[in-house]
Amino acid sequence: MDGKPSACYAFDPLMQRKAPAKINLSLAIKGKRPDGFHELESLMVPLTLADTLSLEKAPGLTFACSDPSLPCDDSNLVVRAARRFFETLKAAPSIHIHLEKAIPHGAGLGGGSSDAANTLLALNELFAAPLSPETIHALAAELGSDVPFFLAGGAAFCRGRGEIVEPVVFSQKIPLLLIKPAFGVPTPWAYSRWKDSREIPEVPYGPQSFSWGTLVNDLERPVFEKHLFLPTLKRWLLRQPETAGALMSGSGSTSFAVLREETGGPALQARVKEEFGDVWTCLCQTETKFPG
């Protein structure tokens, strides 16, 4: 990297952009592709929970993050996105980016992918849109399977390995409680175990139907086999009076409860803490469009 990143870097941002989390309301795996990825179909929706990107034109490329556990080098998706933007533009990097994290990483909430996608969008806006939407989409697909979703502007049905994005109308603001244990789940690992995984007896894996769609996630099977905390949590959530449905998001480790009423969220959140101890929780809603 150019320059020395610092989590304490202070500046007046020229631009700020929200990078929302997502959940997978449905995730079906159709099989393994010749390129090694898995063919999937997933309905993804953005959340009110979001990271914040602040960008300022500056010499070189520097990056800082509020979460000291995240790398600030070229392994970070924000840095990789910024480098690819300037490489595609055939221009020397000239940006400082600060990332304020609210979305936990390794959570199945798409935080890193959202940060990367919104870095591309913010840079293109800041530098007067030199790259076409098609080029931005190609860069996003290169960076990761979930990254193109965050260019869609709202809910979308994603196919292929995730890079085929079909925006859909999703007007519901569903109240949610997100719960993430201390551990994360590597996405490649979850997909690699899918084919040979088995269901745990008495754990509900079947579809949960609502007026707005169906909750189901094929990756619960392999992840639940390894991390028994997660099926225990799901079964517990489904027994609670405030909960209309419960599911693991993406490859985990975050699970979410669909609340019957938004007002019931704080009581359920408190009981989760009492029952399961050291877990991250967040009350939020689905978004009808991205808070860009």
Residues with catalytic function: 22, 146
For residue 257, count CB atoms less than 10 angstroms from its CB and return exposed for 0-12, middle for 13-18, buried for 19 or more: buried
129 Rama class: left (phi>0) / alpha (psi -120 to 50) / beta? left
Which residues, in sequence order, are bridge partners of residue 96?
56, 62
Q: In Å, how far from its chain's centre is CA 74?
A: 20
C-alpha closest to that of 24 among 45, 39, 53: 45
Integer Cα distance of 117 and 112 in angstroms: 9
Structure tokens at 117: 């996608």
Q: What is the dihedral of CA 102, 120, 291, 181, to 10 degrees?
A: -30
Element housing 214 (H / E): strand 213-217
Name beta bridge partners: 208. 215
Rounded Cα–Cα distance for residues 216 and 212 (Å): 13
